[in-house]
């Protein structure tokens, strides 16, 4: 099933270079809203900045794919020094195809990181790459997203029923 998470992280910063190495992952496609920062926020937490630096130092290639508009994504992407795909249409594979070209990696070497099951998690499943789901970083502002959280709940429950842990 491509909606139930395979990995669920409490915080994006818990995805360590060691973990990525153990999975053979050399590049990440990062969501922005409620993954790297709050929904519609431009705030960059120190821990997120340090995490990005640590991954870069470990040789992990990074890029951003967001379904949000370029006006929203660009200032944040510029701040963290990453290229981005805006309006990336997750769960459709188009944004991930662009991201993969930028990373210059095989699919098995890349993973998507995001907070939404019906966009980020499903995009990973449809494109055939690993998906690391994170607990939303803050409250949802977007009304459509708020509605989708209710639909996500059974799949999160299934993750735990299968013995999944909050990583
Ligand atoms: Mg998000």
54/28 Cα distance (integer angstroms)? 13
Q: Which tokens is 31 given?
A: 């969501």
CATH 3.20.20.80 fits 8-161, yes or no: no
161/60 Cα distance (integer angstroms)? 32
Q: Is 165 exposed, middle or buried (0-12, 13-18, 19+ CB in 10 A)?
A: exposed
CA of 23 to the centre of ligand 1 (A): 23
> For residue 81, what pLDDT band results from cuts at 50, 70 and 90?
very high
CA of 108 to the centre of ligand 1 (A): 22
Per domain, the residue ranges of the chain are: 8-161
CB contact at 8 A, 56 and 13 = no
The H-or-E segment that residue 76 falls in is helix 70-80
Q: Which residues of 71-103 are buried (b: 16+ CB within 10 A; e: fewer)?
A: ebbeebbeebebebbbebebbebebbebbbebb
129/99 Cα distance (integer angstroms)? 12
Which pLDDT value is given to residue 144?
Answer: 85
Tell me which of 50-54, 126-130, 148-152 is least confident: 148-152
CA of 67 to the centre of ligand 1 (A): 8
Give pLDDT tens digits for 86-132.
999 999 999 999 999 999 999 999 999 999 999 999 999 999 999 99
Q: Which tokens is 56 given?
A: 């870069």
Average pLDDT in the chain = 96
Which pLDDT value is given to residue 60?
Answer: 98
CA of 25 to the centre of ligand 1 (A): 21
Q: Are strands 110-114 and 61-65 parallel, antiparallel or unpaired?
A: unpaired
């Amino acid at each position: 099933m491509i909606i139930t998470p395979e990995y669920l992280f409490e915080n994006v910063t818990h995805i360590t270079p060691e973990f990525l190495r153990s999975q053979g992952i050399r590049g990440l496609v990062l969501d922005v809203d409620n993954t790297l920062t709050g929904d519609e926020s431009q705030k960059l937490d120190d821990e997120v900045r340090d995490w990005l630096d640590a991954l870069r130092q470990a040789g992990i290639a990074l890029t951003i794919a967001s379904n949000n508009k370029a006006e929203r994504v660009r200032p944040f992407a510029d701040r963290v020094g990453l290229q981005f795909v805006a309006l990336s249409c997750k769960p459709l594979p188009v944004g991930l195809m662009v991201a993969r070209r930028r990373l210059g990696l095989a699919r098995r070497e890349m993973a998507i990181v995001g907070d939404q099951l019906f966009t980020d998690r499903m995009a990973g499943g449809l494109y055939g790459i690993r998906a690391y789901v994170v607990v939303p970083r803050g409250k949802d502002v977007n009304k459509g997203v708020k509605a989708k959280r209710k639909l996500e709940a059974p799949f999160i429950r299934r993750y735990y029923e299968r013995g999944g842990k909050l990583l």
